[in-house]
Structure 1
Amino acid sequence: MTAFAEQAVRGGQQPERPDLGDPSFWQLPHSERVRAFAQLRRFGRPQYFVERPRSAWRAEKGFHALVSHADVVEASRHPQVFASAPGATTPEPPRWARALFGDSLVNLDAPHHTQLRRIVSQAFTPRILGRTEADIRAVATRIVDDVLSGRPDDFVTSVASRMPFEVICNLMGIPEQKRPAILAQVNRASGDTGVARAARSRLRMPGKGLRALASMQGMVADLGRERRRNPTDDLISALVTADIDGQALTGRQLGAFFSLLMVAGVETTRNAIAHGLDLLTRNPAQRALLTDDFDRFADSAMDEIVRHSTPIIQFRRTVTRDHRMSGQDFRRGDKVVLFYASANRDETVFPDPDTFDITRTPNPHLGFGGGGPHYCLGTYLAKQEMKALFRELLTRSPDLHTTGAPVLVPSNFDNRVRSMPCAYAKP
Structure 2
Amino acid sequence: MDIDLADLDFWRNPLKERNEAFARLRQLEHPVFFPEKKVPFLRSGAGFYALVRHADVVEASRNAKVFSSEPAVTNPEPPGWVKQVFGESMVNMDDPRHARLRRIVTRSFSPKMLQNLQSDIENACARIVDDVEARGAGDFVTQVAARLPIHVICDMMGIPDEYRAKVHDHVDVSTAYTGVRPSLARSVRMAGQNMMALLALQKLVIKLGHERQAEPTGDLVSLLVNANPDGEKLTDKELGSFFSLLLVAGNETARNTMAHGIKLLTDHPDQRALLTGDFDAHINGAIEEMVRFVSPIMQFRRTVTEDYDLRGLHLRAGDKVVLFYGSANRDESVFPDPDAFDITRDTKPHVGFGGPGPHFCLGANLARQEMRTMFRTLLTRLPAIRAVGEPELLLSNFDNSVRSQSFTF
TM-score normalised by L of structure 2:
0.96
Is 1:182 matched up with 2:199? no
Matched ranges for 1:62-141 at <5 A? 62-141=47-126
* Counterpart residue number, 2:328: 343
Matched ranges for 1:257-276 at <5 A? 257-276=242-261
Identify if the C-alpha distance between structure 1 residues 347 and 17 changes in structure 2 by more than 3 Å, giving closer, same or farther: farther
| CA deviation map 1:299-339 (0-9, x unaligned) | 00000000000000000000000000111000000000000
* Counterpart residue number, 1:367: 352
**Aligned counterparts of 1:53 and 1:207: Cα–Cα separation in 2:** 19
Is 1:390 matched up with 2:354? no
Residue 24 of structure 1, CA deviation: 1.7
Aligned AA for 1:299? N
Aligned AA for 2:100? Q
Identify if the C-alpha distance between structure 1 residues 402 and 206 changes in structure 2 by more than 3 Å, giving closer, same or farther: farther
Aligned AA for 1:403? V
SS at match of 1:317: strand
Say which of 143, 151, 159 aligns to 2:144: 159
Say which of 237, 248, 272 aligns to 1:287: 272
Gaps in structure 2 of 5+ consecutive residues: none
SS at match of 2:361: coil
Matched ranges for 1:39-78 at <5 A? 39-58=24-43, 60-78=45-63
SS at match of 1:100: helix
SS at match of 1:261: helix
TM-score normalised by L of structure 1:
0.92
Q: In the alignment, is the contact (CA less than 8 A) between 1:190 and 1:206 conserved in 2?
A: no
* Counterpart residue number, 1:148: 133
**Aligned counterparts of 1:241 and 1:218: Cα–Cα separation in 2:** 18
**Aligned counterparts of 1:187 and 1:60: Cα–Cα separation in 2:** 26
Aligned AA for 1:189? S
Name which of structure 1's ranges 353-362 and 237-246 shifts more when overlaid on structure 2: 237-246
Aligned residues: 409
- Percent of pairs identical after alignment? 52
Name which of structure 1's ranges 257-266 and 55-64 shifts more when overlaid on structure 2: 55-64
Identify if the C-alpha distance between structure 1 residues 220 and 193 changes in structure 2 by more than 3 Å, giving closer, same or farther: closer
SS at match of 2:323: strand
Gaps in structure 1 of 5+ consecutive residues: 1-15
Name which of structure 1's ranges 297-306 and 189-198 shifts more when overlaid on structure 2: 189-198
SS at match of 2:262: helix
* Counterpart residue number, 2:216: 231
Identify if the C-alpha distance between structure 1 residues 310 and 328 changes in structure 2 by more than 3 Å, giving closer, same or farther: same
Identify if the C-alpha distance between structure 1 residues 325 and 194 changes in structure 2 by more than 3 Å, giving closer, same or farther: closer
**Aligned counterparts of 1:122 and 1:259: Cα–Cα separation in 2:** 18
* Counterpart residue number, 1:329: 314
Residue 415 of structure 1, CA deviation: 0.2
